[in-house]
Chain A
Amino acid sequence: MTAAHRSEWARVVASLTRRFGDLDLAEESAAEAFAVAVERWPVDGVPPNPGAWLTTTANRKAIDRIRREAKRVGKHEEADMLYDPEPPPSLGVVEDERLRLIFICCHPALAPESRVALTLRMVGGLSVPEIARAFLVQESAMGQRITRAKAKIKAAGIPYRVPAAKDLPARVSGVLAVLYLVFNEGYLATDPAADPVRAELTGEAIRLTRLVHGLLPEDGEVAGLLALMLLTDARRTARVSSSGELVALEEQDRGSWNADLIAEGHRLVRERLAAARAGTAPGRYQILAAINAVHTSARHAADTDWSQVVTLYDQLARLDRSPIVALNRAVAAAELDGPAAGLAAVDRLADALDGYHPFHAARADLLRRLGRRAEASAAYERAIELAGNSAEIAALARRRGRLFPDGPATPAG
């Protein structure tokens, strides 16, 4: 049932939304149809075409709802005009439908947190309590957020269609931002009360990005984001130690990385590299994926092709002038030019990144390598104060502890 739910949910919601022009009705009727399936399939057996069965059942449920509502307000004639569901449209049309659903859920006129919630509900088929738990929000608050978003879609006239060609790149980038946010929240939860890594969110983000990649196979950034997620998720199990600490990339057991995900990610990156050679300038996700491809190509951390990584960060910096990109470049460059040069480059970002814990963690590591232990300890301390993820805090505390193996740090001077 779960498998059918996951793969058919978006199709059912999308086709009902097109037919009835009402996201709310589509969602509720789809949920009813799936509930009937949970009850009946274990007894009657799974129908030969589960997707068609679910769509037909959901259509009937939607018509029942419209009839009930019409009778309630005394519109018998309208209610009687509704007949059985129309025949299911051909597969190509259905594929388009899901794309429309994704674009409406990620519409820029909705608040970013609503886009995430709506996408997980309408496209991902997660229940409201599941989404509320994933983002540590009260169930009622999450329900309200989704209800408000649906109400705005209706009242403000947000259209159910794939955007015009001229708007498409910006809108696709909005969709990818939502998917990347879901992935990152799963990969490095920002809340100390959450599990440090939540595979249900990373898995869902990958599943949805695969769907978008299938629908827009020509879009390089979609392929780039999928590759980035696969190459990141491949390292998931190596990333948290048995004692619940985050393990840095250079300390991870590379043998436990998921070879299948890496192979798939590398294949996508190679395709994008070929496109780049043919003249298509890569966007940020493709460059980030390429950086991760370099890391996952090294059998040992010492084999990492750092000059390649630095070149890619330079390319990224041309697209994105943010100090976070500059920080990552500086950390990679330190592997080539040494920790002193690295620290000088990192320190130049102090004003912009003082509130960003990876800045202090990077500084601390460079100071440690330079033997400036007291300063390193203070920098770890600051990183720990600012970090939210429990596994990351544990790893930072361990690294700080290793500075002074004989006892607690004593402030210098």
Chain B
Amino acid sequence: MQYLLSVVHDGPSPEVAEEQAAIDVFNQQMKDDGYWVFAGGLGMPTNATVVDSRGEQPVITDGPFVETKEFLIGFWIIEAPDLDVALGLATEGSKACNRKIEVRPFL
């Protein structure tokens, strides 16, 4: 199964160098163990733009679609046999990036 591990940012602190180093180690381990599919870090929500093209004219708005204190700051997509393995990886990932992680299965 594939899971999306969403990294939730809920504090004022931006990423520090030690976190990046820990994340690199974790990423390499995931690749070595065959769980890695894809990963990415995201820019701040203030730099987001929302496009709504359900009407006749596309509407383009500045900012995230919903203002929240918690927001997505990065993610991993992993291949894991079951939720216990995914939760184990999320436990290590959360420690590495010093943020909480939401684990969600792909359909």
Q: List A residues at the B interface (Cβ < 8 Å).
A: 107, 109, 155-159, 163-164, 167
Query: How does the 8 Å CB contact mask read for B93-107 relative to A, with 1 for contact and 0 for none?
Result: 000000000011101
In whole angstroms, what is the CA distance A156 to B106 when docked? 8
B39: Cβ under 8 A from any A Cβ: no
* Interface pair A159/B105, CB less than 8 Å apart: no
* Interface pair A159/B87, CB less than 8 Å apart: no
* Interface pair A156/B83, CB less than 8 Å apart: yes
Q: List B residues at the A interface (Cβ < 8 Å).
A: 1, 3, 80-84, 86-88, 103-105, 107
* Interface pair B83/A167, CB less than 8 Å apart: no
In whole angstroms, what is the CA distance A167 to B87 when docked? 11
In whole angstroms, what is the CA distance A157 to B82 when docked? 5
Give min CB distance, A164 to chain B, whole Å: 8
In whole angstroms, what is the CA distance A67 to B83 when docked? 29
* Interface pair B105/A155, CB less than 8 Å apart: yes
In whole angstroms, what is the CA distance A159 to B82 when docked? 6
In whole angstroms, what is the CA distance A403 to B107 when docked? 65
Q: Which residues of B have CB within 8 Å of A157?
A: 1, 3, 80-83, 86, 105
Give min CB distance, A17 to chain B, whole Å: 14
Q: Can you list 16 residue pairs at the A/B interface with Cβ under 8 Å? A: A107-B83, A109-B83, A155-B107, A156-B83, A156-B103, A156-B104, A157-B1, A157-B3, A157-B80, A157-B81, A157-B83, A157-B105, A158-B84, A159-B82, A163-B84, A167-B88
Q: Which residues of B have CB within 8 Å of A159?
A: 81-84
Given A155-B105, A156-B83, A164-B84; 14 other pairs, CB 8 A cutoff:
A109-B83, A156-B103, A157-B1, A157-B3, A157-B80, A157-B81, A157-B83, A157-B86, A157-B105, A158-B82, A158-B84, A159-B82, A167-B84, A167-B88
In whole angstroms, what is the CA distance A157 to B81 when docked? 8
Give min CB distance, A149 to chain B, whole Å: 13
Q: Which residues of B have CB within 8 Å of A155?
A: 105, 107
B85's nearest neighbour on chain A, judged by CB, is A159
A160's nearest neighbour on chain B, judged by CB, is B82
Q: Which residues of B have CB within 8 Å of A163?
A: 84
Q: Which residues of B have CB within 8 Å of A156?
A: 83, 103-105
Most buried by A among B83, B88, B104: B83
Q: Which residues of A have CB within 8 Å of B80?
A: 157
In whole angstroms, what is the CA distance A375 to B82 when docked? 58
In whole angstroms, what is the CA distance A156 to B86 when docked? 10
Q: Which residues of B have CB within 8 Å of A109?
A: 83, 87
Q: Which residues of B have CB within 8 Å of A164?
A: 84
Q: Which residues of A have CB within 8 Å of B84?
A: 158-159, 163-164, 167
In whole angstroms, what is the CA distance A164 to B1 when docked? 19
Give min CB distance, B23 to chain A, whole Å: 23
In whole angstroms, what is the CA distance A109 to B84 when docked? 9
Most buried by B among A109, A155, A156, A159: A156
Give min CB distance, B32 to chain A, whole Å: 19
In whole angstroms, what is the CA distance A158 to B103 when docked? 12
Q: Which 9 A-B pairs have the closest CB atoms?
A: A159-B82, A157-B82, A157-B1, A157-B83, A158-B83, A156-B105, A156-B83, A159-B84, A155-B105
In whole angstroms, what is the CA distance A155 to B105 when docked? 7
A164's nearest neighbour on chain B, judged by CB, is B84
B80's nearest neighbour on chain A, judged by CB, is A157
Give min CB distance, B44 to chain A, whole Å: 30
In whole angstroms, what is the CA distance A109 to B86 when docked? 11
Give min CB distance, A139 to chain B, whole Å: 29
Q: Which residues of A have CB within 8 Å of B87?
A: 109
Q: Which residues of A have CB within 8 Å of B1?
A: 157
Q: Which residues of B have CB within 8 Å of A167?
A: 84, 88
Most buried by B among A155, A157, A164, A167: A157
In whole angstroms, what is the CA distance A164 to B81 when docked? 14
Q: Which residues of A have CB within 8 Å of B3?
A: 157
Q: Which residues of A have CB within 8 Å of B88?
A: 167
A158's nearest neighbour on chain B, judged by CB, is B83
In whole angstroms, what is the CA distance A100 to B81 when docked? 17
In whole angstroms, what is the CA distance A158 to B87 when docked? 10
A166's nearest neighbour on chain B, judged by CB, is B88
Give min CB distance, B103 to chain A, whole Å: 8
B2's nearest neighbour on chain A, judged by CB, is A157
Q: Which residues of A have CB within 8 Å of B83?
A: 107, 109, 156-159
In whole angstroms, what is the CA distance A212 to B91 when docked? 27
In whole angstroms, what is the CA distance A307 to B87 when docked? 44
B1's nearest neighbour on chain A, judged by CB, is A157
A153's nearest neighbour on chain B, judged by CB, is B83
Give min CB distance, B39 to chain A, whole Å: 20
